[in-house]
Homo-oligomer: A and B are copies of this chain.
């Protein structure tokens, strides 16, 4: 593959001139520049990225560490990140931590080694893997969940308020004994949604009971079980707030198996909107989260840090909103 000196030779100039011409730095005689461009073109020359990165001591690469690309919520985040990164000339390496601290740590290691310009991280748990980044001075933005000992910027969604709204809504629709299926203890979004749910119940003057709460992984399988244990109780809860999209699938499966209809038999509200939510009968009431925006804002913040902005660590909280549909109404 052609190198810069091949181009230099062919254009009859020095490598420095080629570099300048190609990078548009300082000024180069138009005629020489043209010769350089021509030579580069003829040779199919492409600057060697690693060499340039080594020399400049920086790369135009961001790492995005999320739990799972197959989760539509993270998928939307990653699209937001990619769009912003790409238009700023950055590439994105995608890492699936599966919410395993070890995997997360491993990826952070790789990111450090490759000297990525910055990292967008949706932290798996209470691990300290992000400390590595701090000690190495790599800019970080936390997405969806804050970093344990917070440094760097954070972009969150106001889950708690949204969950509260959802609980109030269910209550206002006349459902009593409202249950909640949320994620594992220690995962902030899971805890927040639970807290919001409790806020809402209290505000509505309803009793708050742990018997109506289930926790499991943020996946369909666990939620399916949880829903079964919840909905086969006597008396059966009248409604349920589900903490994410994948879980909602599990809950709705259980309901179908038990012959329970959303809305009429059990009021349902789930976090995360999806294209198919309106196709259900009745359509699913959801808490819509601004996932794409979260990615885009996060990438923006990261890029400005990389650009050298030395402001204090910020926390941006985006708000989610309730989208009312048939599954949360008896009629």
- Residues of A whose CB lies within 8 Å of any CB of B are 1, 44, 46-51, 53-54, 59, 61, 68-70, 72, 75-76, 78-79, 82-83, 86, 91-96, 109-110, 112-115, 135-137, 220, 246, 249, 252-253, 256, 274-276, 278-281
Pull 7 A–B residue pairs with CB atoms less than 8 Å apart, ordered by A: A47-B113, A49-B114, A70-B75, A75-B75, A91-B110, A93-B94, A94-B94
Kindly identify which residue among B44, B50, B53, B86 contacts A136, using a CB–CB cutoff of 8 Å: B44
Contact indicator A115/B50 (Cβ below 8 Å) = yes
Distance in Å from the Cβ of A78 to the closest Cβ of chain B? 6
Which B residues lie within 8 Å of A135 (CB)?
Answer: 44
Q: Give bound CA distance, A141 to B279, whole Å.
A: 36
Measured CA separation A253–B69 after assembly (Å): 26
Beyond A1-B136, A70-B79, 10 additional pairs, beta carbon < 8 A: A46-B112, A48-B54, A54-B54, A61-B93, A69-B75, A69-B78, A69-B82, A79-B96, A93-B93, A249-B279
Cα of A68 to Cα of B136 in the assembled complex, Å: 33
**If A44-B136, A220-B275, A280-B280 touch, does A114 touch B69 (CB 8 Å cutoff)?**
no
Main secondary structure of the interface of A (DSSP, over half): helix
B94 to A49, Cβ gap below 8 A? no
Tell me, in angstroms, the Cα distance from A278 to B257 when the chains sit together.
11
Task: Tell me if B256 and A46 are in contact (CB < 8 A).
Answer: no
Q: State in angstroms the CA–CA spacing of A115 and B113 once bound together.
A: 17
- Across the interface, A109 reaches (CB within 8 A) one of B46, B48, B51, namely B46
A75 to B76, CA, bound (A): 11
Q: Provided the pairs A50-B54, A76-B70 are in contact, do residues A114 and B94 lie with their beta carbons within 8 angstroms?
A: no
Q: How far is the CA of A281 from the CA of B282 in the complex (A)?
A: 10
Residues from chain B with Cβ under 8 Å of A256 in the complex: 278-279
Residues of B within 8 A of A220 (CB): 275
In the bound complex, residues from chain B placing their C-beta under 8 Å from that of A68 are 79
A95 contact set on B, CB distance < 8 A: 82, 86, 91
A51 touches B49 (CB 8 A): no
A93: B residues at CB distance < 8 A? 61, 91-94
Contacts of A279 in B (CB 8 A): 249, 252-253, 256, 276, 280
Which chain B positions have C-beta within 8 A of A249?
275-276, 279
Please name all residues of chain B whose beta carbon is closer than 8 Å to the beta carbon of A281 when the two chains form the complex. Answer: 280-281
Contact A48–B275 (Cβ < 8 Å): no
Q: Which residues of B contact A274 (CB under 8 A)?
A: 276
With A76-B70, A96-B82 known to touch, is A113 a contact of B46 (CB < 8 Å)?
Answer: yes
The list of the 9 closest CB pairs from A to B, nearest first, reads A50-B53, A49-B114, A50-B54, A94-B94, A276-B276, A249-B275, A49-B113, A50-B50, A93-B93
Chain B residues within 8 Å of A112, by CB: 46
CB contacts (< 8 Å) of A78 on chain B: these are 69, 94
* A48 touching B79, Cβ below 8 Å: no
Which residue on chain B has the smallest CB distance to residue A82? Answer: B96
Distance from A25 Cβ to chain B, minimum over Cβ atoms (Å):
18
CB-nearest residue of chain B to A90: B110
